[in-house]
Each structure stands twice: as structure tokens, then as C-alpha cells.
Amino acid sequence: MAEKTVVQASNFVRNIIKKDLDQGINTGQVATRFPPEPNGYLHIGHATSMCLNFGLAEEFSGTCNLRFDDTNPEKESDEYIQSIKRDIKWLGFSWHGEARFASNYFDTLHGYANELIKKGLAYVCDLSPEQARQYRGSLTEPGVDSPYRQRSVDENLDLFARMTAGEFADGAKVLRAKIDMASPNMNLRDPIIYRIRHINHHQTGDKWCVYPMYDFTHGLSDALEGITYSVCTLEFEDHRPLYDWFIANVSTPGTPKQYEFARLELNYTVTSKRKLKQLVDSHAVTGWDDPRMPTISGMRRRGYTPAALRNFCAATPVARSKGITEVSRLESAVRDDLDVHASRAMCVLDPIKVTLTNWPTDEIQTLTVPAHPKDESMGSRQLIWTKEAYIDRADFAMQAPRKWKRLAPQQSARLRGGYVVTCNEVITDADGKVLELLCTYDDSTLGKKPEGYKVNGVIHWVSASHNIPIEVRLYDRLFNDENPDGNKDRDFTEYLNPGSLSVTSRAYAEAGLINSQVGQQYQFEREGYFCVDPDSTSENKVFNRTVTLRDSWGKQNG
């Protein structure tokens, strides 16, 4: 089967690199990096950054480093580090060499801090956080010099050494760069370089009680690694002068350049790691890998494929301006990939029993149908036809509406891959609920059209005696508002969709699915795309709905 061609969207960073190479501005190897902070699981926004950085390195025969920004050990853990590595590998990317950590460079960065002090470009400040905010000024008023700004080089070296030795309490002092308190760019108003934190670090243990700030660490780490293109999201645009200032004022081995692009914003989605962690901690979801979460691990568990995510990212413009991307585009990319690669199967979610009154009681017939209707290479699967079957309740109507394409009293429909059946009698309970349909099958209709009467349509089914009972988890969007984070007067959790998950434990699937493995994907015919959840056991298979067959959200919520 031919693979769908993915059209590469516009990418201004790629154009910059091409121009640099053509003009000889960058004569070395293209080197990028992916620098996540290990304080949560990666989400769909990180996937776009990952595809961009690793993709650029691949396109230009360069390298892409994985470097963990581990400068804030209070919020970081090895759990997050390992999850990030898994997500990168799952998406199909390989980082250059060993995984790196900003903490690998703590000794060198500490030396750079002392170099700035010796040049008169950094000082130890004793202002409290509240005082520092007052001295910093505002967007309309310049800042005021700290009273500690004129400390001598020797005093600053001594105080910084004592900070490093653990002599002072957390927050008692900070090391600040001496730049310009009147700068219109607030980031240049003597930013903090180091702060005191008496806390164990997941990589360096108790070696340090002072930790560098991100703005100080990021660019210098890029320079130390020989990064040529440091691609960040747009919120770091105002930080670029500071990025360049640090590189220009210490003895770095390289001069990387920073470029910014607009981060991915999906409607009906929240991607703030802080807010995603809030959902996890409050048990609004079952964990970081809850299939409703926009995390890569959640999407993987739901049944999204690496190819679908990469295709989506490739088709999403890398732009300088902010915009909102429809989550339906992501879902469409998933459908496109699963339509090609997912085996077909039948599953009845809300069963009604069908008894074929003219079929011999103990007779069994094996029917062979394609595993995929458009791809013969995927082989075939076996269906077991017996006297009793299950169809879905939605496929029967006591009073058939106009143009009804399913089963109804005295009307006929084909059971997928099998015979045409006609409903002759309906058995209900005292409340009128349909319990069983008594039907007859037409033995001349296997693979053939019936003669002399009309067939409403084709419906799916499973044998009542040859099936496996399964648990099915029907997932929908986690939020029911297009912009759940947009109303500052309301908490984003107020927009949680109460219908984002419904579970049925009375579903029946083809018997062959007993051998299905965790992560295996199927199209349950006429129902949607599903995958086997890790909660599955040999006795109880659990299937997650990855995505419906078509986008019905707009019609329901338009």
C-alpha cells in the first residue's frame, strides 16, 4: 500500500541554515540540541521542538545533543529523565553521543562566574527578593542600582567562595551580572547568575549548594558543546541579548546563535508542565501517561504512533508568529497513519443477542476475511459463524427511520464478511428494552447479493460463543472548552470534560484478539481505532479508543 506523502511546512530556521551554508558563514558541522528540563513529562509541544532540532541535524548531516537543563533540583527527578529518554527514542530520534546534563558543566560555569567577577561584571547582592523587585523598576521606569553593586572584586570573590562553601542560608545572597539597570530590556537589569540552594542534586549529590540560573547556563552550555544553532521558543526572544552577553564576556570555545519560533498551541489542550502536574497531583487524571493527557507518554498509551506525530509536526509551520493549531489536525494525522497500518477487527460495544433460527444449533462455519481491506500483504483473519451472535444496540431500530442502513423488524442487513440476515421477531423485557432478535439467514448470500429483496446495509458482529469479553475505554478530549487556559477569572480545571472517559466492561471482540499484545493497534470496524492498554492481562484485555473513525467533535460542539 502506498504511504501518504507528508508535505513539509514552512521552516524559516531551515532557510537560515541553508543561507549560512551557501554563504560560508557556518563552515563547520551543523549542531543543534534538545534541552528539556527534567521537571515533568514531555508533551506535544516538546514533540515539535524535538522534530525541529533532530530533523535539522539529520537534514544537514549534523548532530543533535540531548542536554538536560538540570539547574533546579527542587523540581527535578530521575523519573522525568528516564521518561524523556524513552519518549525521544520512541519518536525515532537518537541523540549525539551520551546524554548530557547542564550539571556536567557546573565546575566550568562556576569558573565563568568567577571570571565575570574578576572583570568587574558580576557582584554578590544581599537584597531580599522583595527589595530586588523594587530596585528592578518596571517596563516604564528604569531600575535602581543595588547598594551592593560597587563591592570590590576581592570582596565579591570572597563572598561568592563563601556562598559556594555553604556559609550562608538559602536566599541570603545571590550573584548577579553587572549589566545595565536602566536597560529597556528587563532581562539585562543585573540578572541573577547564581542562587543558594542547600539541596541534594540528582546528578551531583551534595557537591554544590549554589546553582546557576537557566539564562546563565543555557548559552554557555551551548558554547561548550559547539552548538551552532540554538533553537528556542518565542518566549526566549527577549532573553537573546543576555544569551549573547554571557557568551561575549567569558572565555567560551564557541559562539552559538539563538533563534526563536512560536511554540505549538493546540485548542482544547493545556501544555503547561506546571498545570499538567497539577492534574496528576489532584488525580484529575490517572498519571502523566493518562491517554487523555497531551504528554507523549499519554499519546503513546492512547495508541498514537510515532509516524503520526512526526507527520503532524512536519506539516505544522515553524513560524515566528503565534497561532492556534486545531487539535483535529493532530487527530487527522493519527487517522491517516492508522488507516494504513492498523489491522481490522470487529468488536460489539453494546451487545444485543441475535439468534439465527434456521442455523443448526451446533454447526460452526469458519469465514476468512482480509486483515486489511486495502493491503493484501497483511494477510487474513478468521471469523467464526454460529447460531448466536452479538450486534451493537445502535445497529437496530424498532422503528426504522428514513434511509436506515441497519437492522429493523422485517428488514435485512448483511453481517460483515458473512450472510444476509432478516429480523423476524424481537424479544423485549417488561420495560420494552430489546433483549434478543430472532432472525433467519439466507444461505445463498455469502459473498453474493440477495435476489428479490433489499438489504439495508452492512453491520459488524461477533459470535456469541466464540469471542473474548474485553474492557473498552472510550477516551475523548480532556477539556470541553476551546481555550481552557484563556479565562484568567476561572481555573482551567473548571473546563475539564466530564465525558472524557467512559468505560464498558461488557464488550465482545473477535476471538482472535486473545493473542493481541500491549500497544497493538486495530480498527474496530465502524467504531474507531483502538489499541491494547498496558493494564491488560491474559484474562482481561483492555482496549483504549485512540481516535474515532471521523471527526464528530465539531458537529457535537459546534
Q: What is the pLDDT of residues 35-65, one digit of tens each?
A: 999 999 999 999 999 999 999 999 999 999 9
Provide the β-strand partners of residue 473: 503, 544
The CA-atom distances, in angstroms, between 408 and each of 148, 442, 443, 451, 464 are: 86, 16, 20, 19, 20
pLDDT at residue number 2: 45
Q: Which residues contact 140 (CB under 8 A, 6 or more apart)?
A: none
* Mean per-residue pLDDT, 79-84: 97
Summary count for the chain: helices (H), strands (E): 13, 25
Q: pLDDT-based confidence at 26, cuts 50/70/90?
A: confident
Contact 178, 191 (CB under 8 A): no
Contact 266, 477 (CB under 8 A): no
**pLDDT above 90 covers what percent of the chain?**
91
Contact 411, 422 (CB under 8 A): yes
3-class secondary-structure state, position 52: helix
pTM over 0.85: yes
* Average of per-residue pLDDT values in the chain: 94
* Mean per-residue pLDDT, 114-129: 98
Would you name the residues annotated as active-site residues? 37, 263, 273
Helix, strand, coil in percent for the chain, rounding step 5? 30, 25, 45
Q: Is residue 427 predicted with pLDDT exceeding 90?
A: yes
Q: Is residue 309 predicted with pLDDT exceeding 70?
A: yes
pLDDT at residue number 8: 63
Cell numbers at 436, concatenated: 434478543
Taken in order of first residue, the domains within the chain and their CATH numbers are: 12-261 (3.40.50.620), 273-341+470-557 (2.40.240.10), 345-465 (2.40.240.10)
pLDDT at residue number 9: 66
Q: Specify the amino acid at residue 256.
A: P
3-class secondary-structure state, position 20: helix
Gyration radius of the chain's alpha carbons: 31
* Mean per-residue pLDDT, 180-192: 97
Which of 273, 253, 254 shows the shortest CA–CA distance to 263?
273
Q: pLDDT-based confidence at 558, cuts 50/70/90?
A: very low
* Mean per-residue pLDDT, 511-533: 96
Q: Specify the amino acid at residue 208.
A: W
* Mean per-residue pLDDT, 73-87: 96
The CA-atom distances, in angstroms, between 213 and each of 24, 44, 66, 220, 272 are: 34, 26, 19, 11, 20
Contact 471, 487 (CB under 8 A): no
pLDDT at residue number 416: 96
Q: Is residue 300 predicted with pLDDT exceeding 80?
A: yes
pLDDT in tens, 248-282: 999 999 899 999 999 999 999 999 999 999 999 99
Q: pLDDT-based confidence at 554, cuts 50/70/90?
A: low
pLDDT at residue number 323: 85
